[in-house]
Amino acid sequence: MTTLHETIIPEKRVRRITVLISGSGSNLQAILNSCGTDKLPNAQVTHVISSRSNAYGLTRAKTHKPSIPTSVCALKTFQNRNPGSTREHYDLEIARQVVESKPDLVVLAGWMHILSDKFLEILNGEKPPPPAPALPPPQINSLPTKSDEIKLPSLDKLKISDKNENEQKKKDEVEVKEESSSSSTSESKLPEPPLHQSFPIPIINLHPALPGAFDGANAIGRAFDSFQKGEITNTGVMVHKVIAEVDRGQPLIVRDVEIKKEDKLEDLEARIHEVEHQIIVEGAKMVLEELEKETR
C-alpha cells in the first residue's frame, strides 16, 4: 500500500532488439548471451532477419530460450517471386519487416547488403513502410546447420556419407543447446511490443576496420594485405550509427586490433571476431541507455 508521500517508480520496459544477419550469427549469439545481464540489461532480441535461408544464425535464434521469431528475405528469391522488383523494392521490404517487428534498436550483425536511402527513410519515420508484397518469402521448414553454409562442389566427389552429415548435424545441435543454456535472460518470454512505434529507430552496424579505413566489403583481408606491404601497423573494429554513406556513420565504439608479423589471415580474423563479440554488445547497451535517458 502506498501513501501520499511515496513515489511510484514505473518498471522499466524491456527494450526490443531486431538483429539483421547473413551468416553464422556468432555476433548475434554474443548479444543473446548478454541480454538480461549487466552487459545488456532490460533488453531482449525479439526478431532476427536473415538475407540467407541457410544462415546458421537462424538456428541460434530458433533454439534460444525463449525462441526468437525469424524471417528470411533473400534478394534473388524476393525478385523472382515479385517480377519487376528492384533492389530498392527489396530494401523497402526489409524496412517493412523491421518496422513490423517493433524494435527499439536495430543491429546489423554481419548483414551483407548495403541498405539504401529508401530503407533509412522508413526507419527515420520520414516515409511509411510499403504494403506486404504479393508473394512473401517462402517458409523455411528445417533449421540450418553450420555445414549448410559451406558450398560443397559435389557430395559425390567428396564422398561425404549420410552418416557423416548426420554426425555433423548432431554436433551443431549440441553446440546450439550449450550456447542457449549459457545465455542469460531475465524474461521467460519475449517482451510485449509497444502500443506505438517510436521514430527514428536507431540502427547500428559492426564493421571490422577503424573509422575511415577499409570501408565496405573484405575489410579484414584488405587490412591484412596493407600490413604485409608495410602500409599500416594495426587495424581495428568499430560499432557505428548507420547512415547513407557506407561505414561512415558516427563511431560509437572503436577498438584497435594488433597485427603480428607471424599472423596468417585466419589469426587476424579470429582476433578481430573476439573483439567484435565484445563491442557489439557495448554498442547496443550505449544506444539503449541513450534511449532510456530520452524517455525520462
Active site residues: 207
Q: Which amino acid is at 266?
A: E
DSSP one-letter code for 160: -
The sign of the CA dihedral 116, 119, 244, 31 is negative
Say which residues have a Cβ less than 8 Å from residue 228's Cβ, sequence separation at least 6: none
Tell how strand 70-72 and strand 43-50 pair up.
Answer: parallel
Rounded to whole angstroms, how far apart are CA atoms 111 and 52? 10
Distance CA 281, CA 196 (A): 26
**Separation of alpha carbons 153 and 108, rounded Å:** 30
The Cβ of residue 142 has, within 10 Å, a number of other Cβ atoms equal to 10
Residue/partner pairs of 242-250 with CB below 8 Å, 24 or more apart: 242/108, 242/115, 242/120, 242/203, 242/204, 242/205, 243/120, 244/116, 244/117, 244/120, 246/114, 246/215, 246/216, 247/205, 247/207, 247/209, 247/215, 247/216, 248/212, 248/215, 249/205
